Amino acid sequence: SKTKEIVVLPGDGIGPEVTKEAVNILQTVCERHGYKLKTRTFPIGGASIDRYGRPLTDETLKACKESPAILLGAVGGVKWNDQPKDKRPEAALLGLRKELDLFANLRPIKTYDSLIHASPLKEEIITDVDIMIVRELTGGIYFGRPRYIEKTETGERAVDTKAYTTEEIDRIAHIAFETATLRDRRVTSVDKANVLDSSRLWRQTVKESAKQWPEVSLDHMLVDNGAMQLVRNPGQFDVIVTGNMFGDILSDEASMITGSLGMLPSASLGEEYAMYEPIHGSAPDIAGQHIANPLATIASVAMMCRHSLDMPDAAREIELAIKTTLEDGFRTADIYSDPANEYEVSTSEMGSAVVKHL
């Protein structure tokens, strides 16, 4: 078909500002490649709570299930922090992941040469860092049952359950190995097998899966060591595969390597559906000021072109455009530092600059 259809969930805070630019870019590459882009937009998170009393409505979920690809901005904000847990903006995110079975979260961590100076890490440590974090996204302690808070004689007691099955581990390992074949063919599996039963099953299952990928090398790292190695020498990693909670922590830690959270995209993939979003949050403090960095969302659209829209050339074009836009000195406030060689631009100016560089 000559039409590409996606669902857009702008969400809260800077979400609407950054998705607007990303959709523009997608529009442009679709036209270039002879496609018509059709978007349907729905509120999610806080925006949905304000309008419908719920962070994720049935209508939104239904639309998502009719679409091969979803672009999400960001959800959350102080305003909704005191809601009960199933009425908080994050519940929409967790709900979508589970309902659409988006079990594989890909978070590429790549440094841009022109931003290297912005990293808290020394230049020689981070030059050429190119890591793909593959995080399991629908299992582990995020979704395990039972989970509750109960009264005791003297106070309360809270319980969460971390559970993983062979199948869940095997399918995420599969994604990691497959991803590695297109890269440097090295997978590091991160767990806490010296303490957790779930990690012992994790390690054993990943080892077993590895046999199907003899061309990929596998090693295992304990999560505490992994957190250390990501700071000590991130260049050692190619693909990292890990569970939901460890992946949440390590990917945010790793994002700092690049110097700005505002640059990093993500893809959440399942068998049938896929969702793309920047890894940054809704940044309510700067919402509406037109200074948010749209590049992470624009890079997420590139991932969408690659993984969902069957437009791998468009993906590369967008990624190259981001690179050259940065090289030409365009900077939103979060990455602006050198008045002599850089121009500080607004969210939409950055979006336009990328369009021009396409």
Ligand X SMILES: CC(C)[C@H](C(=O)O)[C@@H](O)C(=O)O
* C-alpha torsion sign, points 258, 261, 263, 266: positive
191 an active-site residue? no
Long-range Cβ contact pairs of 338-344 (< 8 A, separation 24 or more): none
Catalytic (active site) residue 65? no
Q: What distance in Å separates the CA atoms of residue 172 and residue 81, rounded to the nearest whole number?
A: 32
Q: How far is the CB of 348 from its own copies (least distance, A)?
A: 27
- The tokens describing 25, both together, are 């870019």
Q: Detail the residues annotated as belonging to a binding site for substrate.
A: 97, 107, 135, 224
Active-site annotation holds for 192: yes
Q: Which residues bind ligand X (CB under 6 A)?
A: 90, 93-94, 194-195, 224, 248
Please check whether residue 248 is in contact with residue 239, taking contact to mean a CB–CB distance below 8 angstroms. Answer: no
Residue 196 touching its own copies (CB under 8 A): yes
Rule CB under 8 A: say whether 211 interacts with its own copies.
no
Catalytic residue among 248, 273, 276, 334: 248
Of 30 and 131, nearer to ligand X (C-beta) is 131
Give the nearest distance from C-beta 109 to ligand X in angstroms.
Answer: 13
CB of 273 closer than 8 Å to CB of 102: yes
Q: Is the CB of 37 or the CB of 141 nearer to its own copies? A: 141
Tokens of 81: 């922090």
- Look up 248 and say whether it is catalytic: yes
* Distance of closest approach, residue 102 Cβ to ligand X, in angstroms: 11
Asked if 101 is part of the footprint of its own copies (rule: CB under 8 A), the reply reads no
Q: What residues form DSSP beta bridges with 131?
A: 109
State yes or no: residue 129 binds its own copies (CB under 8 A): no
Q: Distance (Å, rounded) from C-alpha 269 to C-alpha 167? A: 16
Give CA separation, 79 vs 13, 83, 97, 277, 292, in Å: 11, 9, 23, 22, 20
Both tokens of residue 149? 């808070």
155 lies in the site for its own copies, by CB under 8 A: yes
Contact positions with its own copies (CB under 8 A) in 15-74:
none
List 70's β-bridge partners, or say none: 7, 275
Residue 252 annotated in active site:
yes
Which chain residues interact with its own copies by CB under 8 A?
76, 85, 88, 90, 94, 120-122, 125, 141-142, 144, 147-149, 152, 154-167, 170, 192, 194-198, 200-202, 205, 223-225, 227-228, 230-233, 245-246, 248-253, 255-257, 261
Q: Which residues are catalytic?
A: 142, 192, 224, 248, 252
